[in-house]
Amino acid sequence: MKIKYELLKTDKNARRGIIYTNHGKVETPMFMPVGTLANVKMLTPEELKEVGSGIILSNTYHLWLRPGEDIVKKAGGLHKFMHYDGPILTDSGGFQVFSLAKNKKKDITEEGVHFKSHIDGQKLFLTPELSMEIQNKLDSDIAMSFDECIPYPATYEYTKNSTERTLRWAKRGKDAFKNDQQSLFGIVQGGAYADLRKYSALETVKLGFDGYAIGGTSVGEDKETMYQMVDDAVKYLPVDKPRYLMGVGEPEDLLEGISRGIDMFDCVLPTRLARHANAFTENGKINLKNAKYKEDFTPISSDCDCYTCRHYTKAYLRHLFVAKEALGGRLLSIHNIRFLIKMMEEAREAITNGNFEEYKASFLKKYKN
């Protein structure tokens, strides 16, 4: 089946809903942990389920290079290959082409993108059609259109040309899409230009996708510019389809996105921070390598219900990081992902109760002080 979205409740622009997929239903707004190489770094599928994870994200570009989409298909698809029975979204590979290409050199043409592998420098060529073919074989629940993630800053002329090409790529990709059991999302671009965001949103919607993402944010711009990019696009997206803000994971950005009508978020941030001893807390981020935690025998957060906070102290976690034990990163990844997912649960409840803006203000007042 294609995914289905049910809108349950609104509180101003904030939305609470349910996305139905071939691998279960998930409530929105929601945060998706990132499992780039068919693995959310250092965590098992069982641990992801325990923290309340719904949809997780895997990366087309990386799985194309290793182990190859044909291997995943022979394994029975991505769900069986990685032993995750919940919903999976695959991105198009576009962002990685632009961010990881060897020496950052790439040749963007109307047909696609020529670039070199970040692994071995091999010459590669990725097109909208090939991105769709790879994702069809991976057999995720949700696939993403191939687009250019426009850098920031970029001139109006560059942004306009790129946005128009992304629309042409979106149509080509949709025409090449062959998996009837898989859903396909379109991606809105347009950079920091309000008229191009509107144009991209309206034209992408005309193509008729199962959901819509806002791309090209969180690429170096300041917060207010990012929020404006969302404002300039989201009001032109359908009410009855999921709305996905790509690559955003800071708590304040998630809450601001929800305020603007966003349903889905993803980011590598919680696990990346965890590997460097940084933890989310209700009072902001902390670094557990700090000497003041050497004799702190309390959990990271007294309000957190994750496995790590139920069993381990800051002192022990600090010891693991100082001793360079991998368990530290594992335990902190569990906490950081659970922190964001729990925040989403609280946001959904606040929307239901009609007090989301009050919840957001209360959370941010404590988090930023």
Residues designated as active site = 91, 266
> Which helix (H) or strand (E) is 32 found in, with range?
strand 30-33
Distance of CA 267 to the CA centre of its chain: 4
Cα distance between residue 111 and residue 133, in whole Å: 15
The total number of residues written for the chain in this structure = 369
Cα distance between residue 125 and residue 202, in whole Å: 29
- Residue 9 vs residues 261, 341, 350, 359: alpha-carbon distances, Å: 12, 19, 11, 16
Residue 245: both structure tokens together: 């803000």
The amino acid present at 143, given as its one-letter code, is A
- Cis omega (within 30 of 0) for bond into 153: yes
Nearest 5 degrees, angle CA 27-CA 33-CA 38? 120
